[in-house]
Chains A and B, each alone.
Chain A
Amino acid sequence: AQKITQTQPGMFVQEKEAVTLDCTYDTSDPSYGLFWYKQPSSGEMIFLIYQGSYDQQNATEGRYSLNFQKARKSANLVISASQLGDSAMYFCAMREPLIQNSSSGSARQLTFGSGTQLTVLP
């Protein structure tokens, strides 16, 4: 089963308009973190915003905000006042409780959704 689902392969938005990118997730653990990344055509993966499962407030970071609906297991990204430079692939991702390794510390996996290609139109 998919842990992270992004149902919009592609989205178009007019410059200066707001756009919502959908993300739903599946986990049975009460502790988890949700992340959004932006990947322009150049390939770099840019961290945008984080939401923790226990956070009471929706995360905001500049023009980015996260519409977190825990009961529905959704974590949609809202980009306000779209700019041409926002055109990119956007990935939703989740981290779950750590994998214990008593001899070497700990590390966490990041599970990605399939991504949404956003195109901002002039």
Chain B
Amino acid sequence: DTEVTQTPKHLVMGMTNKKSLKCEQHMGHRAMYWYKQKAKKPPELMFVYSYEKLSINESVPSRFSPECPNSSLLNLHLHALQPEDSALYLCASSQAVQGALSYNSPLHFGNGTRLTVT
């Protein structure tokens, strides 16, 4: 069983809809991530939160809006999406530590949300 839970598993939305993806982890991790993955491609980093603050935004369009309400939760708010935004959206978490020894911390992923924009 994955320790990172994502809801919903599947989402179909129109281009004028507003929806949210949710992610929850109970691993005590202080770094959380959103990745986007198209079919047969590797995941692409979208956002990174560290200690509940946004630390990386990989030039993601503003129609994607992340939110980290607390150390266990990560949301991705969606508005006015395009059909090309259809993809698997993966949430992940990892340890976040000060200093130079944190490169050995694996990311733990949720099962993802399959998003279809019509």
Contact = CB atoms under 8 A, between A and B. Distances in A.
B partners with A: yes
Interface of A: 31-33, 35, 37, 42-47, 50, 52-53, 89, 91, 95-99, 101, 103-110, 112-115
B15 interface: no
A103 B51 CA distance: 10
B100 A109 contact: no
Interface of B: 2, 30-31, 33, 40-43, 45, 48-53, 55-56, 88, 90, 92, 94, 96-100, 102-112, 114
Contact of A105 (B88, B90, B98, B100): B98
Nearest to B114: A43
User: Which of A99, A104, A113, A115 is packed against the most chain B CB atoms within 10 Å?
Assistant: A104
Contacts, number: 106
B42 A107 contact: no
A113 B97 CA distance: 25
Contact of B90 (A42, A45, A95, A99): A45
B50 A104 contact: yes
Nearest to A55: B104
Given A44-B110, A99-B56, A103-B53, A108 B100 contact: no
A42 B43 contact: no
B79 to A, nearest CB: 24
Contacts of B98: 105-106
A106 B114 contact: no
17 contacts: A43-B111, A47-B107, A97-B103, A98-B100, A98-B102, A98-B103, A103-B53, A105-B53, A105-B97, A105-B98, A106-B98, A107-B96, A108-B94, A108-B102, A109-B45, A110-B45, A113-B42
A31 B43 CA distance: 23
Given A105-B98, A107-B96, A108-B103, A44 B111 contact: yes
Contacts of A95: 103-105
